[in-house]
Amino acid sequence: DVKGREAILRVHAKNKPLSKEVDLATLAKMTPGFIGADLENVLNEAAILAARRSRKDIGMNEVEEAIKRVIAGPEKKSRVVTEKDKRCTAYHEVGHAILAKVLPNCDPVHEVSIVPRGMAAGYTLTLPDNDDRHMFKSKMLDEICMLLGGRVAEKLVLGDVSTGASNDIQRATELAKSMVVTYGMSEEIGPIYLGGDQEVFLGRDFGHTRDFSEQLGAKIDKEIHKILSDAFTKAENIIQENMDKMHLIADVLTERESITGEEFQNLFETGSLTGRVVMDPKEESLELEAEEQQHQSAEEAEAEGNAADKPEEQEEPK
């Protein structure tokens, strides 16, 4: 858990020149699911990066990059990416990110990138903001929906689908399987343990003995299929509802190649990378005054029967 990871990090950080900005408690929160060896790797990679960048100490930049390296492999900036691929990957990743944002049980978006890394053409990194031990059914369903978001975006925007979603589809299918056969979460089949997900399906593939009937087997298949197709439909609806945002964010992502979670959030909510600038009260009241004046002059213009400079959206519907 998070406390355990922090303790492990402390041990491995002992002989490393960490900059003051690196907080091990934060780092522990950013590395859910990491085992001891992964954490050791993160700090070693960060040290190598810092040395390569001729830094005297290890900064947060190096640590963040090291985490991504451990999760997905090093960035491959030299890999040639065609414009068509880039556009496809941008929509694919924004599809994931929008679902992670809209669905209530997904972890917050930390970064969206179309810079190839390891085997992936791009990635959307979500990180939990808590250390919940249990995986709830509601979260598993949202997770499946989010995983399918890349494929859904390709289908809706490009009218075609790519092989880029194969890993997502595999993960979504595995999650759906484990919900039905391992965790007894299917209402149709009930709280019955039918072996680990792999056991059941390997058993069937190789004709080994299994402890459920042919009939139940068919029911299991149907349930898994239903979870996946319901999630797909839900993902389609959400992306369809947010299509304007989808185009806007995919455009920015294609140009910048990577955006932070905060930038994504701003783009989604305000349409700008920086979000709304916080104004001090003085400026705000000045703006209010200006708005009032505008409003008054518009009223005056209307009174005079002069509607020529009225903004279009204020026109009465005909």
The residues that are catalytic are 93
Three-state SS annotation for 222-261: HHHHHHHHHHHHHHHHHHHHCHHHHHHHHHHHHHHCEEEH
Distance CA 118, CA 309 (A): 56
Q: Which two tokens stand for residue 31?
A: 């590395």
Gap between the Cα atoms of 272 and 255, Å rounded: 14
Least distance from C-beta 96 to Zn ion, angstroms? 6
Q: Indicate the residue among 47 and 97 with the shorter CB distance to Zn ion.
A: 97
Site for Zn ion in 109-138 (CB under 5 A): none
Q: Which is nearer to Zn ion, 53 or 84 (CB)?
A: 84
Smallest separation, CB 114 to Zn ion (Å): 11
- Which stretches within 129-206 are classed as H helix? 137-153, 166-181, 197-205
Q: Which amino acid is at 121?
A: A
Which residue number has the CB closest to Zn ion?
A: 150
Contacts (CB under 5 A) with Zn ion, residues 223-242: none
Q: Which x/- pattern over 154-183 shows residues binding Zn ion (rule: CB under 5 A)?
A: --------------x---------------
Q: Record the tokens describing residue 36, joined without a space.
A: 């001891």
Which residue among 91, 103, 125, 150 contacts Zn ion (CB under 5 A)?
Answer: 150
Count of CB atoms within 10 A of residue 70's CB? 19
Minimum Å gap between C-beta 108 and Zn ion is: 17
User: How many residues lie near Zn ion (CB under 5 A)?
Assistant: 2
Distinct helix (H) and strand (E) counts, the chain: 12, 3
In terms of CB distance, is 223 or 236 closer to Zn ion?
Answer: 236
Residue 92 CB: number of other CB atoms within 10 A? Answer: 28
Q: With respect to Zn ion, which residue has the nearer C-beta, 65 or 168?
A: 168
When asked if residue 95 is in the footprint of Zn ion (CB under 5 A), the reply is no
Give the footprint of Zn ion on residues 35-64 (CB under 5 A): none
The bridge status of strand 109-113 relative to strand 258-260 is antiparallel
| CB 269, min distance to Zn ion, A | 23
Q: How far is the CB of 165 from Zn ion (least distance, A)?
A: 5
Residue closer to Zn ion by CB (options 46, 121) is 121
In the complex, the residues that contact Zn ion under the rule CB under 5 A are 150, 168
